[in-house]
Amino acid sequence: MGTMDNASLPIRTLINGSFQPKVAALDMLRIDVLHPVVSGNKWFKLKYNLEEALQNKCTSILTFGGGYSNHLVAAAFAAQQANLASIGIIRGIYATATPTLLECEAYGMKLVYVPISEYKNKQDIHWLSTKVDSLEHTYIVPEGGANSLGRKGAALIGQYIAPEYSHIAVSVGSGTTLAGIHSVVQPHQQLLGFVPMKGGKGLINEINPWLSSPSPANIHLIDDYHFGGFGKYNQPLIEYMNQFYVEHNVPLDIIYTSKMMWGMEQLLQQGYFPNHSRILCIHTGGLQGNRSIAGLLPELVDIQ
Ligand SMILES: *Cc1c(COP(=O)(O)O)cnc(C)c1O
């Protein structure tokens, strides 16, 4: 994992002032290009978890995810790099493994499929112990790397965020990345968390305990651009992803970043941002998940 510690990451200008007179900058921080497999925010969330596993003399990690989970692939690969065995508890029974799950197996992850009805028990250590041979010397990483070490890792993203940015946009799943970044940005920097699921604003209740003070004025959860719910999409969103790639040469993912950028464009059009705002959109990665819609993204040839 060490080689990525001081990676310099590109920041790309998406528009300049002449397109959007009110906004002084609309840039994208490409943490998706950090590594081809342990892409985007997942590396940051895993970093200290894996270090902790090694320090605790664990020989394997166990973690959780669905059939297209970005976290699972990243965890499988990173564990292999760290000479740790890995076990993935998979949400749902798949008749045929998805490309994501096959890739996890290729990195040595042992997959344990559990029915969706049982998956909700995943924090119950007794239930878990019935699913695997042994939990001895096994370090458990919560789904999505959503724990304090995950947030500590996500806070490292702050080193790429200049204080000149007035607004920072990031996609939200568990809110781990958002909370980590919030711990290091300045109070004048507004953090826009785009939640790609229905009722996403309610996530603030889960995020609050992770913050230095609850519901800070500079966190804004936006859940208007969920496209029907987590993992749901429609033809206009697909077209938007293709068009975004043609225009900016940046591939977006179907679950998180496409909905964020779509929402961002809506907010720009609605005049949400004050004059002279400088906006940084964080590309959190997740491109491997686009294999769930392979064939629908003719422009994004390199990810199929
Ligand atoms: C996992 C993921 C997120 C969500 O991160 P959280 O820390 O769980 O909020 C956002 N974007 C992408 C591309 C992801 O893969």
**Which atom of ligand 1 lies closest to the CA of 180?**
7
- Average pLDDT across the chain, whole number: 93
Which pLDDT score, from 0 to 100, does residue 8 have? 85
**Which atom of ligand 1 lies closest to the CA of 283?**
13
pLDDT of 304 strictly over 50:
no
Considering only residues 302 and 165, tell me which one the structure prediction assigns the higher pLDDT.
165
Average pLDDT value for residue range 139-167: 97
Distance from the alpha carbon of residue 173 to the mean position of ligand 1, in angstroms: 5
Q: Is 180 in the pocket of ligand 1 (CB under 6 A)?
A: no
* Rounded Cα–Cα distance for residues 108 and 84 (Å): 10
Average pLDDT value for residue range 149-158: 98
Q: For residue range 40-99, what is the model confidence (pLDDT) as tens digits?
A: 999 999 999 999 999 999 999 999 999 999 999 999 999 999 999 999 999 999 999 999
Which pLDDT score, from 0 to 100, does residue 21 have? 62
* Rounded Cα–Cα distance for residues 292 and 278 (Å): 34
Output DSSP code: residue 7.
-
Half-sphere exposure in the Cβ direction for 30 (13 Å, CA): 18
Distance from the alpha carbon of residue 279 to the mean position of ligand 1, in angstroms: 19
For ligand 1, mutation pick of 44, 45, 63, 70 (most atoms within 8 Å of CB): 70
Output DSSP code: residue 60.
E
Average pLDDT value for residue range 247-266: 96
- Report the predicted TM-score, pTM, of the whole model to 2 decimal places: 0.95
**Which atom of ligand 1 lies closest to the CA of 193?**
9
* Angle at 35 (CA atoms; ends 64, 145), nearest 5 degrees: 25
